[in-house]
Structure 1
Amino acid sequence: MPEPRQAARLWGHEAAVQRFEESWQSGRLHHAWLISGPAGVGKATLAFHLARKLLGGSDLNSPAGRRISAGTHGDLLEIARKIDPRKGRLKGEITVAEVQPVQTFLHHTATEGGWRVVIVDGVESLNRFAANALLKILEEPPPKAVLFLTTSAPGALLPTLRSRCRPLMLSGLDEQAMRALIPDISADLLRRAHGSPGRALFLAQDRDGLCAGLVEQVMAGTAMDSEMWERVKQIAREGEGFALFCDLFSEALATQARDAAMEGNSLQAAEWAERVRQLAQLRQQTERFNLDKAEALREALALAP
């Protein structure tokens, strides 16, 4: 799949596009939009799709379209987690220093005389200082400026930040769109991806079923032994192993919570939901502070039945 900045077409999310266009055509376009939805469902792609509309770059072969694709358009600024050059991986958070250029950018005259657009991809990754800096910008937006904020965890944002944005909530794509985007997707991956192309590609990285197998073992109540511990350490060494395990384990725990709720056992459902919350917190802290992933996985396994 192409990068969001370079996508020639947006698959799905017609209702979100329509809502934005209605606001634009009314002459009262809101200055900030919060695009939320499952990871990998196309939030950043939608943000760039809407930015192209505002900046006259919907045709990728037009001068504006080519500049957006190349990341050189003077009226478009993207803020996202950056690669840590020392560790060769994404940083755990977006800092205030990375948000400060937004203020300068928005108070300069548009280079092409139209809109200025800012995309903050993964706004839940803003640390406290960065979130407060962005909030000040949202409180006093300059004219002819639009911000698109994307998040997979809207509940983790400051309530005051959410309240200053118009929501665009995205759901999963249908099967036709999924197969168009990933022609060779298997029936199993299609089922497990829940309409998220990014999730399908993410899950496909567990090629030998190492993470899925460990989740199955721990959910079955298998006690930790030396063989399982070696598997944990192997997963921790894989590039996306830790994230994959946490994702699959969280889904298994959430399924238990849903099943308990459907059976009318609210107490047990709450207990499972609390385990999901604890796992999410453990994953976030481990990735943000670059903690030992093998030890974090050992801690995660304690949340199993």
Structure 2
Amino acid sequence: MAKAPPPPVEPELSPRHAGALIGHDAALRAFADAWTGGRLHHAWLIGGPAGIGKATLAFRIARWVLAGGPDSGPSLALPPSHPAFRKVAIGSHPDLAVLERSENARTGRMRTEIVVDDVRALAGFLRLTPAESDWRVAIVDPADDLNREAANALLKILEEPPPRALLLLVAHAPGRLLPTIRSRCRRLMLTPLAETEVASLLDTLAQEVPLPERRAAAAIARGSIGRALTMAGEGAGALKQALDRVMDGLPEVDLVAAHALADSLGRPGAEENFALFMDLLRDAVAARARAAATGAPDRIATLRPLEEWGSVWENLGRLARITAGLTLDRKQAVLSAVMALRPGAVPDMP
């Protein structure tokens, strides 16, 4: 299973550059109503699964606020020719700060979390008088990356917000944030896009990918255009077919097919395909757990009790994270994952 090259990420696809936002009309309307009603909260938590447009929404709100809230209706849209749009796109707007994981000056590598010094610098930025607009705006993307010290520093900002300062927190898993942070934010919880919306976006953004691959990616992307773009460039259709063959054969496992799959995902350069396969496998296990919980007709779901399906799902996640994080043998990880699907088995952890 050869690894197809991923589609190039064009500038207009990044949240900072994106002029279009598909879906999430209710969230846009909620913010617009708060603005026009003079009830703008100082902090907004934008939550939902990865890749559904949370950061794109945050930058859309930021541009609109920095432009003074022009009369564009609840869409909060600015034309790309607008000065605020252009400055945000190239990272030169003096009243916008974006807090992300930064580079470790000592090692030259990107940190795995947002650290307290960066949050303290953000606090200093927010206390300054706006330079070009009426507001200072900060985007934390994602807030999930805050370590404990950084989260406590951010909490101090939320407890005593500077005047004319707006914080937009992007979170893939809001429930993992400190309860005291969540309680001080107004929430905009986004839902996954419809499969038809994902398919339509793929037709626009990934025209170089064959149509069957685009359709396969849209069908299994769980409403995430970001995930669908990755899948479309990584041979999602072939991986899904391989996974279906594994699942349909249970409780037996075709060892020849399992080794062939493991060989393909263990080759150099197949890291993204490995991650995608493990995601799809966990999705399939989660579907069986839901079927076991609801009593829905599913032959494979009856092979294990609900509790075992839940344990398999958790262990597969651990196996994927450890293998990727420690750069371990992907071939052995795939074999362990596939064999763990048999009734009574669990993944062999590295």
TM-score category of the 2 structures, normalised to the smaller one: 0.7 to 0.9
Q: Does 1:271 align with 2:308?
A: yes
Measure how far apart 1:118 and its partner are: 0.8
The size of the alignment, in residue pairs, is 302
Q: Does 1:304 align with 2:337?
A: no
Comparing 290-299 and 79-88, the one that deviates more: 79-88
Equivalent residue for 1:120, pick from 112, 124, 140: 140
Question: Match for residue 230 of structure 1?
Answer: 263
Measure how far apart 1:243 and its partner are: 2.9
Contact residue 203 and residue 244 of structure 1 kept, 8 A: yes
Measure how far apart 1:141 and its partner are: 1.1
Quick one: which amino acid aligns to residue 46 of structure 1? L
Measure how far apart 1:74 and its partner are: 0.6
TM-score by length of 2: 0.74
TM-score by length of 1: 0.84
Contact residue 232 and residue 297 of structure 1 kept, 8 A: no
Question: Match for residue 254 of structure 1?
Answer: 286
Quick one: which amino acid aligns to residue 66 of structure 2? L
Contact residue 116 and residue 146 of structure 1 kept, 8 A: yes
Report SS of the residue matched to 1:5: coil
Quick one: which amino acid aligns to residue 230 of structure 1? D
Residues in 1 aligned to 2:321 and 2:58: alpha-carbon distance in whole angstroms:
24
Contact residue 63 and residue 88 of structure 2 kept, 8 A: yes
Equivalent residue for 1:168, pick from 188, 199, 213: 188
Alignment of 1:1-305 (within 5 A): 2-56=13-67, 58-82=78-102, 91-175=111-195, 177-183=197-203, 184=207, 186-207=214-235, 211-212=239-240, 215-216=243-244, 219=247, 220=250, 222=253, 227=260, 229-234=262-267, 237-263=269-295, 268-281=305-318, 283=320, 290-294=325-329, 297=333, 303-305=340-342
- Structure 1's 147 and 293: CA in aligned 2 closer, same or farther, altered over 3 A? farther
- Structure 1's 231 and 121: CA in aligned 2 closer, same or farther, altered over 3 A? same
Unaligned 5+ runs, structure 2: 1-11, 69-77, 343-350
Residues in 1 aligned to 2:40 and 2:316: alpha-carbon distance in whole angstroms:
39
Contact residue 265 and residue 274 of structure 2 kept, 8 A: no
1:126-161 Cα shifts (integer Å, max 9, x gaps): 222222222222122111111111122122222222
Residues in 2 aligned to 1:196 and 1:100: alpha-carbon distance in whole angstroms:
33
Quick one: which amino acid aligns to residue 36 of structure 1? G
- Structure 1's 191 and 23: CA in aligned 2 closer, same or farther, altered over 3 A? same
Measure how far apart 1:209 and its partner are: 5.6
- Structure 1's 104 and 300: CA in aligned 2 closer, same or farther, altered over 3 A? farther
Query: How well do the aligned residues superpose, as a CA RMSD in angstroms?
Result: 3.3
Query: Between Structure 1 and Structure 2, whose CA radius of gyration is higher?
Result: 2
* Percent identity (aligned): 42
Measure how far apart 1:90 and its partner are: 5.9
Unaligned 5+ runs, structure 1: none
